[in-house]
Structure 1
């Protein structure tokens, strides 16, 4: 298999130029927030490097599991995707996923070996997700429960990433739950946002939230998730002493999100569809940047 085929695959299914910056902010913010909430100094660079490597590889493993889980649906409804159209083989992608497992474990072990227990917890949940918790048909018939059960992996990943900071000291701060909740809701913001499609782009057999709820209702639900995310961001900001600045900066982002959602609801065009996907990613990026870096920045200015 040529490297050019793998390059095309990553552009379509795991775009590094989009994914890497988001996961760099996500992983670094997790360690920084954990330290800030506990009143401890920030970890050294090794912790941040381990967090980034672990986050990147875990999200790639999630993509691999999706490729395996969704293969039959992709062959039937989305034959233009890389694996169904023969660009790369499922066997190759699974092999790359398997190779990434010991690298992920090594990154955790080199930083602090007990972190492997938290990594194992994430892998157990990922395995259960891939098996659809043994009730695939029942779960797919309940799309909201499907969404919530799959987004539960986000706070588990964040528990792992924050654990790189708090586990060497014995335990996390109680208020870390606010940040884990933020990760859960932000996962919903991303997942719903990328499945708000224009009517002309809807594909029979492919489930989207715009198709499930209609564009107006889907946009409202997405907006509620953004507002809940904002409330949790304020909770984290209050515990780290940056409530009012978080409120101001986050408020700008919320306004942009609400305007975009209203525009999509009125005119659900292909352009609006792409804008919602982008705005969802930018909002999540902003949340982690504000929560993780604002207290550190203000301390040094």
Structure 2
């Protein structure tokens, strides 16, 4: 595989410029939140390295699985994507995905070998997702259930990331479920937000939530998911002793999300479509930064 082709592939399908900062915050915040909820000191630096490597590899593996299961639809409806247009082959991408498996396991094992059980749980769900749970046609005919079943991998990934802290640290607190639920809802925020398109952008055979529910209703549902995410963020803030700062910072971000959703519903343009994708990513980034880092700063300062 030529380096130039691989570089183009990552820009289009796994953009490191966006993915690395988001996953760095996501993984570090997971460890910080787990420790703060339990009143423990932060783990050693190598725990953060292991969590980041695991997150990066797992999200790449998710992309590889998507390339495999969506190839027929991509060839038919999205021939501009890297694999259908021949930039790289599916075999090459799968080979990279397989090569990332031992890297993931090694990162977890070097820090805390028992956490490999949590990694196995993520891989088991990812394999089931790739096989569409053996009921592909039935599941695709029920888009909401499809969304829920696929976003369920997010709290499983976060169970692994927080487990990198709590397994050697003495166990998870009961409040950890708030952070795991936040990951599930934030997955929905990202997934719905990137599929709120302008009418002129809709493509035959490509499922979007703006087509499924209608743009305005889809914007309301996305805003409701963001509201639920904000509520869970406040719950995490309450457990970690950072409720009021979480309310102030999160409230400002939530207001921006509502403004973006309203602007999209009023003006269904490609610009509004792009803004929704951007705002969804920024909201999730802000959620993890607030949940994980604000309590640490309060304690340190």
Equivalent position of 2:195 in the other structure: 195
SS at match of 2:84: coil
Q: Deviations over 1:257-294 (max 9, x none)?
A: 00000000011100011100000000000000000000
Aligned match of 2:48:
48
Structure 1 distance, partners of 2:246, 2:159, is: 22
**TM-score with structure 2 length normalisation?**
0.99
Structural mapping, 1:97-246, within 5 Å: 97-246=97-246
Aligned ranges 1:278-289 → 2 under 5 Å: 278-289=278-289
User: Equivalent residue for 2:253?
Assistant: 253
Cα deviation per residue 1:36-74 (whole Å; 9 max; x = unaligned)? 011110001000000000000000000000000000000
Match of 1:33 in 2: 33
Aligned to 2:262: 262
RMSD of aligned residue pairs (Cα, Å)? 0.5
* Matched residue, 1:73: 73
Kindly report structure 1 stretches of 4+ aligned residues shifted beyond 3 Å. none
User: Equivalent residue for 2:2?
Assistant: 2
The whole-number CA distance in structure 2 between the counterparts of 1:2 and 1:102 is 23
Partner of 1:12: 12
Unaligned runs of 5+ in 2: none
Equivalent position SS for 1:239: helix
Give the drift of 1:299: 1.4
Does 2:291 align with 1:291? yes
Q: Secondary structure at the match of 1:86?
A: coil
Q: How far apart, in 2, do the equivalents of 1:256 and 1:187 lie?
A: 18
Count of residue pairs brought into register by the alignment: 301
Equivalents in 2 of 1:3, 1:217: separation in Å? Answer: 43
Cα distance in 2, alignment partners of residues 170 and 120 from structure 1: 21
